Amino acid sequence: MSNSKSGFELRTDILGMAMGVLEGNREAKINSFYSIPEEDRKGERHPVIEITSEDVIVEAQKLYAFVNEKV
């Protein structure tokens, strides 16, 4: 019995990984903002970082290209 995944399952996994990368980046940017003392923010509000489906697809394509690289 083979444990290999179908193409659909692999793409689904890669989309999930891409979403994780983007969410991690968003959280890092927000944490970076809050690490600045309030008096140094000069009235700035925390960044609103939207993650679109297009962002996820672009990131997934980068991950997929890396996985397919022939070393």
As a whole-number percent, the residues of the chain with pLDDT over 70 amount to 97
Rounded Cα distance between 38 and 55, Å, is: 30
Look up residue 12 and give its two tokens: 């689904």
Is the pLDDT at 57 greater than 60, yes or no?
yes
- Model-wide pTM > 0.85: no
Is the pLDDT at 12 greater than 70, yes or no?
yes
Q: What is the mean pLDDT of the chain?
A: 90
pLDDT digits (tens, 9 = 90+) for 19-41: 999 999 999 999 999 999 988 98
Is the pLDDT at 17 greater than 60, yes or no?
yes
